[in-house]
Amino acid sequence: MDAKLSTQVAPVPTVRERAFADDYPWRQRVGGFSALPALIRQLGGDPGAILGACGLTLDDFAEKERRVPFSAIARALHEAAATTGTPHFGLLAGRAWHLEGGGPVSELVRHSPTLGDALRTFVAHQRLYSEAGTTFLIARSGIADFGYALYRSGGGGAAEVYDTAAAIGMNYLRELLGPGWQPLEVLLPRAAPADVSHYRALFRVPPRFDSEFMAIRFPESLLEREIEGADRERWRRAADAVAQIERTTPFDLVQRVFRALRAQLLAGGSSGDSVAQALGLHRRTLNRRLREEGTTFQRCLDQLRFEVACQLLTETRVSLDDIAATLGYASVSPFMRTFRRWSGTTPAQWRRAAGHAETRARPAHRPSQVPVDPNA
């Protein structure tokens, strides 16, 4: 018998509406999510009921090239995890994604000369297939982080989305480096579930839960590794196809501002000048064009900060001081004042109202320290 649908779609406070309406049409290519109905059915759930509760239909998953609302996918991942009693559902969903058959961008990645070329290519073009979150590659002090960061989840399912992204990342890296490869560490911005064995089995290292961001961590030197079996001719054809997609894809300013801002926060900044430079625009031009879109740079920054704050408060035990630093505040006090202005409540009250991360067991094993260059 199919499990009964859970009554709460997203683990967020219900006493107050979000401070910012999420009415922007963030979209997601179905891609590997085409396997969701079969996965839900395999786990004893009713895919039609679960997906329907999130505004989706079975027909939405019939074609990999179809685009659906990102927020609906996020809610579906969360609802499926809750309804089937499978806390690691996101990991299972991510395992269905592979470079082979993933479209021109995946083909370009698979046949890049080196791992660094492959990952930088993926980061540069991932926006063509998925909105509301961005991939990133950060290398410093001998360590590289290949990860994923949401900027507009739509109010639920962030933990499951990050699990899915981590599983996808592991699939891609092992397809590029070999099935026996394992990272130094995997960081997840969610509280640990009661059973972490599925995570340990997939990553082959103890994951670090309650992180400020999601990343797969490995030695920076690995970026120079040549990709075995890379075919220059297939790379050239894929490059032409991706260039054609880029030429025919409209320049979505608001989406690109959010992506650039999310990358800036990960790097420790959030200035309008830096975002404008990343987009190839003068700052005054950026401000004018955002006004034409009915928003401002400050509003985009506030929306992004509020989104990330809510994710970390709801899904993790990250301290308020660390959340403030992640959002680019000099100290916790201005973050707390601004959060109250956004939401009408304090970060601590929001976290208590969510009642999500605190109810989960702490991980049974803590990961070992990541090696750091002593000369850094």
Q: What is the CATH number of the domain that holds 214?
A: 3.90.1520
Kindly list the strands in the beta sheet with 133-140, ordered across the sheet, starting from the edge strand earlier in the chain: 133-140, 143-150, 214-219, 185-187
| The pLDDT of residue 375 | 30
**175 and 52 inside one domain:** yes
**Mean predicted confidence (pLDDT) in 190-206:** 96
Do 251 and 143 form a contact (C-beta atoms < 8 A)?
A: no
Does the residue 287 lie in any domain?
A: yes
56 within 8 A of 76, measured Cβ to Cβ: yes
CATH code for position 319: 1.10.10.60
Is 18 inside any structural domain? no
Shared domain check, 264 and 181 = no
Please give the structure tokens belonging to residue 242: 């991706």
Q: Which of 199, 234, 269 represents a domain boundary (last residue)?
A: 234
Distance CA 150, CA 162 (A): 8
Picking from 234, 266, 283, the residue at the C-terminal end of a domain is 234
Residues 286, 208 share a domain: no
Same domain, 83 and 173: yes
One domain for residues 171 and 33: yes
Residues 97-114, mean pLDDT to the nearest whole number: 94
Task: Share the mean pLDDT of the chain.
Answer: 88
DSSP single-letter state for residue 374: T
Rounded mean pLDDT of 334-346? 95
Pairing of strands 67-69, 133-140: unpaired
Residue 243 lies in a domain: no
Do residues 219 and 306 both lie within one domain?
A: no
Average of per-residue pLDDT across 112-119: 98
Q: Do 48 and 139 share a structural domain?
A: yes
Size of the chain, expressed as the number of residues it contains: 376
Q: What is the pTM of this model?
A: 0.87
Same domain, 288 and 337: yes
Which residue, 206, 234, 262, sits at the end of a domain? 234
Same domain, 230 and 122: yes
Residue 85 lies in a domain: yes
- Residue 54 dihedral angles phi and psi, to the nearest 5°: -105, 10
Q: Same domain, yes or no, for 74 and 217?
A: yes
The closest of 88, 100, 91 to 64, measured between CA atoms, is 100
Position 24 scores a pLDDT of 64
The total of structural domains in the chain comes to: 2
Assess whether pLDDT exceeds 50 at residue 16: no
**What is the mean pLDDT of the segment spanning 174-192?**
97
pLDDT at 106 over 60: yes
pLDDT classification of 329: cutoffs 50, 70, 90: very high
Q: What is the mean pLDDT of residues 134-162?
A: 91
Pair (279, 145) in one structural domain: no
Mean pLDDT value of segment 124-149: 95
Give residue 129's domain range: 27-234
pLDDT for position 153: 72
Structure tokens given for 167? 């599983």
Q: Is residue 6 part of a domain?
A: no
Distance CA 146, CA 184 (A): 12
The answer to whether residue 14 is domain-embedded is no
Can you give the chain as a three-state secondary structure string? CCCCCCCCCCCCCCCCCCCCCCCCCCEEECHHHHHHHHHHHHCCCCHHHHHHCCCCCHHHHCCCCCEEEHHHHHHHHHHHHHHHCCCCHHHHHHCCCCCCCCCHHHHHHHCCCEHHHHHHHHHHHHHHCECCEEEEEEEECCEEEEEEEECCCCCCCHHHHHHHHHHHHHHHHHHHHCCCCCCCEEECCCCCCCCCHHHHHHHCCCCECCCCCEEEEEEHHHHHCECCCCCHHHHHHHHHHHHHHHHHCCCCHHHHHHHHHHHHHHHCCCCHHHHHHHCCCCHHHHHHHHHHCCCCHHHHHHHHHHHHHHHHHHHCCCCHHHHHHHCCCCCHHHHHHHHHHHHCCCHHHHHHHHCCHHHCCCCCCCCCCCCCCCCC
Q: Assess if residue 17 is contained within a domain.
A: no
Looking at per-residue pLDDT, the higher value among 153 and 28 belongs to 28
* 177 shares its domain with 287: no
What is the predicted pLDDT for the residue at 250? 87
Examine residue 8 and state whether it is found in any structural domain, yes or no.
no
At 295, the pLDDT band (50, 70, 90 cuts) reads very high
Please state, in angstroms and as integers, the Cα–Cα distance from residue 254 to each residue in 152, 217, 279, 308, following that order: 12, 30, 11, 17
More confident residue, 192 or 8: 192
